[in-house]
Amino acid sequence: MVITDVAKLDVVSDGLLHNHLLNFCQNAHMAFLGRNTPSPLLSEFMAQVDDTIVEAVCRHGTGGGHVDWSPHLRKFGNMKNQVPHFRGGFGITPNEGSAISAFYSATCALVVWLGCHGGNRPAQDFANTWAPWLNFTSPDSWHAPLLQTLSALHALLLQDYGCVEWTSESEKILKLLDVGIVVENS
């Protein structure tokens, strides 16, 4: 279990190595689960793992001094651990927050792949082999639990997170924002 394994890393004296082991080994386990397991099944556990990893980084980085911090400073330290590097943080991805988009993205990629591999030859007919009697172009026909979860997450992302569906208008906006680089010949 990831939570108990995090404490085992306290014997590592090198701070950078400790941080890398937490971020790229322990945290990566949960990122994998987040991509491949419907989020409601793991969200509470992911929050516990996120808290455990941030606590371990703070404990190791401050020599345990973080326990005396005010709640406001503690919240700031936790946030700083989970902010990406390019924004000045330590880049420990909060799995609880990223699991929905990771699962959605991975499952969408599977649906697109299966939708493109429904051929006439048996070797090409992956869609009918893995998901018989499903029409991948019609989400209303999806009865498999994984695909129903995908539909529910789609609605959740649109309603609660303010995401928008891609349209031809989205393409026009991107073209307006496109900044071209002009190279002058000398």
Domain positions in the chain: 2-97, 99-177
Name residue, tokens 């891609």.
166
| pTM, 2 dp | 0.64
Asked if residue 3 lies in contact with residue 26, where contact means CB atoms within 8 angstroms, the answer is: no
The residues, ordered by sequence, that sit 6+ positions from 135 with a Cβ below 8 Å of its Cβ are 141
94 vs 181, more confident: 94
Residue 72 has pLDDT above 90, yes or no: yes
CA angle (102, 34, 141) in 5-degree steps:
65
Residues, the chain: 186
| Whether the Cβ atoms of residue 122 and residue 52 lie closer than 8 Å to each other | no
Nearest residue to 148 via CA among 103, 89, 95, 93: 103
Tokens read off for 175: 């073209």
- Greater confidence (152 vs 112) lies with 152
Cβ atoms of 46 and 31 closer than 8 Å? no
Reported as a single tens digit per residue, the pLDDT across 119-169 is 555 545 666 777 777 777 778 888 888 888 888 888 888 888 788 887 766
Cα separation, 64 vs 25, whole angstroms: 22
pLDDT class of 183 with cuts at 50, 70, 90: very low
